[in-house]
Copies of this chain bind each other. A is one copy, B any other.
Amino acid sequence: MSYRGRARKFLESASIDVGDMVRVEKPDVTYEGMVLDRADDADDRHIVLKLENGYNIGVEISDAMIELLEKGSEPRIKLPPVEAAEDPELPDVSIISTGGTVASIIDYRTGAVHPAFTADDLLRANPELLDIANIRGRAVFNILSENMKPEYWVETARAVYGEIKDGADGVVVAHGTDTMHYTSAALSFMLRTPVPVVFTGAQRSSDRPSSDASLNIQCSVRAATSEIAEVTVCMHATMDDLSCHLHRGVKVRKMHTSRRDTFRSMNALPLAEVTPDGIKILEENYRKRGSDELELSDRVEERVAFIKSYPGISPDIIKWHLDEGYRGIVIEGTGLGHCPDTLIPVIREAHDMGVPVAMTSQCLNGRVNMNVYSTGRRLLQAGVIPCDDMLPEVAYVKMCWVLGQTDDPEMACEMMRENIAGEINERTSIAYFRG
């Protein structure tokens, strides 16, 4: 076994080996589960258990008592070298890590994020993945997602492109949850993909019994083997630990600070419900595996402003962005797509300078309609691009991407209005807004 130091002594004191069923008693809680193997560089203060409910948890041993319940006939989670594990009958799924809480599935020390991310680490924590696919793991970088920025979108897109080019039948991208929906939108525009590209993450690190990491990663690998060849987000569907929803990467938003079912399809239904064992399509209108050729369009413009409108906002904020050489502006307006009429002159100025200005709504649900009220009509006359039912965050990402593709403001306006990756939904259903 790879346990060492105190953890090794703790296990050996009760003649326990990896794969054995044990009961661990702590002053406030008792766990029963199977002892899992550890990462090679793990500390010696924790052991890892796989609980009945499928969760893997790290248990701090200093105040713990351990008891053998049942000897594993042989170590059940004996991890073979990845090369040897390849099953020609199974699809090949690449897991790319960019960092975030989900990367801590491989580290049971509280709060810390493991700097490395290999298939070995991942499979040690989730041996069930080997039943779904041959897994290859790769860490692109390791950052908290609040620090993501457009140049990292490009790096991520290139890494995914590389994996698909190398023959992956699907790619899972492990990502922090804070800005996952910005990055999933970015890759939706940058990539044409013949295979699934599935973003996933975790709201709770796997050292907590309530961690969502294990189910999310298993469902994501399952989704990566599916027929849905789009950039998607796969996260807990409900507060229960039963299934995930697969959301279109341009129609999803983090809607709760801490809940595991924080990601919600907005102005759309989830594409599918996913369990580790299978996938149930909820929305038939998706791009099928193999229908697109692989293509990467990874140029982005970083000088794009994303401005929330509010009562009292000064037009000088927009003016400042123009003076600083920003090349595009996305406004998160109010209601049907409004902002104070004091902003209209500077918006017209931006338009006349060739800086596209796009309008979205901070309502998030529903559709911008700038023909209903006079403010909207005046904004249209000033050249504002109405973004239909696009999320504000998606419109911002799209503007960065569009201005990477063209220098022509007219063309940029046209591209903003065109549905490129499912970001504009022509149909609207009352089922889209549950409140």
**A interface, CB within 8 angstroms of B:** 111, 144-150, 152-153, 177-179, 182-183, 239, 254-259, 261-262, 264, 302, 304, 306-313, 316-317, 320, 324, 332-342, 361-369, 372-375, 393, 396, 400, 430, 433-435
Contacts and interface: CB of A to CB of B under 8 A. Distances in A.
Contact of A255 (B339, B400, B435): B435
A259 B179 contact: no
Contact of A400 (B312, B333, B363): B312
Per DSSP, chain A at the interface is loop
Nearest to A323: B320
Nearest to A343: B146
**Top 3 nearest A-B pairs by Cβ distance?**
A257-B366, A146-B338, A178-B335
Given A339-B146, A374-B144, A434-B434, A368 B257 contact: yes
Nearest to A324: B316
A365 B257 contact: yes
A340 B145 CA distance: 8
Contacts of A375: 144, 146-147
Q: How many copies does the complex hold?
A: 2
Given A261-B435, A340-B146, A364-B255, A310 B306 contact: yes
A310 B182 contact: yes
Contacts of A313: 306
A140 to B, nearest CB: 16
A146 B430 contact: no
A15 to B, nearest CB: 38
A69 to B, nearest CB: 34
Contacts of A153: 311
Given A312-B149, A434-B435, A144 B257 contact: no
29 contacts: A111-B372, A111-B373, A144-B374, A144-B375, A146-B309, A146-B339, A146-B340, A149-B312, A152-B311, A178-B334, A179-B334, A182-B311, A254-B362, A255-B364, A256-B363, A257-B336, A257-B337, A257-B361, A257-B366, A258-B366, A258-B367, A258-B369, A259-B433, A262-B363, A262-B366, A306-B310, A310-B393, A317-B320, A320-B320
